[in-house]
Amino acid sequence: MPTITTTDGVEIYYKDWGSGQPIVFSHGWPLSSDDWDAQLMFFLQHGFRVVAHDRRGHGRSEQVAGGHDMDHYADDLLAVVEHLDLKDAIHVGHSTGGGEVAHYIARHGESRVAKAVLISAVPPIMVKTEANPGGLPKEVFDGIQEQVATNRSSFYRELPSTAFYGYNRDGVEPNDAIIGNWWRQGMMGGAKAHYDGVVAFSQTDFTEDLKKISVPVLVMHGDDDQVVPYADSGPLSAELVQNGTLKTYAGFPHGMPTTEAATINADLLAFIQS
């Protein structure tokens, strides 16, 4: 398997397919680069070079005990970018991956970045604070950590069966294969990485990161997102970046890159080519 070793000695698995302008995909919690299958194949067939890595502790990357925070996530992404010498790249992040993309650009600069896309992404900040009264209570994330620590396999069947893909909505038919694939990806990763990752995606404040981003940014968010609520995320992020465009999807769930791949891929392609 293709891997790189980070400066702190962690092996990171990555996919690197095709040629042309690179599109780099950062996945959500607690999944892997496999969650981008529909996008990787679409853009490969449209003449792009597609790159996606498994975050440390996730998928096929090394299950280390530490470093499960946004600084390390951003540095690991940089390690992949530099190893492959990617230039003029479009960075696309879903959910936690959106935070990773924002922090990577703010922390390491825009010299290798052409554009960015945040899909159902966690910025600016998920947890409720005095400065973010519209956020979710910390107890919500404490409960997720408790499930990861004590009941991970069952929890990883429940979440994609309900809120993640909107399968708990009236008239929406659950897809057992998609649910099983979500569970498979989650269980490939390490419990410690997933446990710590809850803090990383919920408590990191990306406000200042977003303000530093000057490349064009497309913010894509469904207004029926039950995991990262729309009102406290997508519209705020689009306003904070210097050159942002918000695209709102009526009724789309958090996992819309999978369940609504045709729409998302077409809109991504239009933004990249614009």
Distance CA 255, CA 258 (A): 6
202 is catalytic: no
111 is catalytic: no
Out of 26, 95, 161, 202, which one is annotated catalytic? 95
CB under 8 Å to 37, separation ≥6 — which residues? none
Out of 61, 225, 232, 233, which one is annotated catalytic? 225
Distance CA 221, CA 201 (A): 17
Give Cα 147 distance to the centre of its chain: 21
Task: Give the CA distances from residue 86 to residues 26, 187, 232, 247, in Å, rounded to whole numbers and listed in that order.
Answer: 15, 30, 32, 27
Query: 100 forms bridges with which residues in the sheet?
Result: none
Q: Both tokens of residue 15?
A: 């996919």
Q: Residue 171: left if φ>0, alpha if ψ -120 to 50, beta else—which one?
A: left
- Helix intervals (H) in the chain: 37-45, 70-84, 96-108, 138-150, 152-161, 176-188, 191-203, 207-212, 234-240, 256-259, 261-273
Distance CA 268, CA 56 (A): 26
Neighbour-count burial for 238-270, b at 16+ CB within 10 Å, e otherwise: bebbeebebbebeebbbbbbbbbeeebbebbee
225 is catalytic: yes
Residue positions annotated with a catalytic role: 95, 225, 254
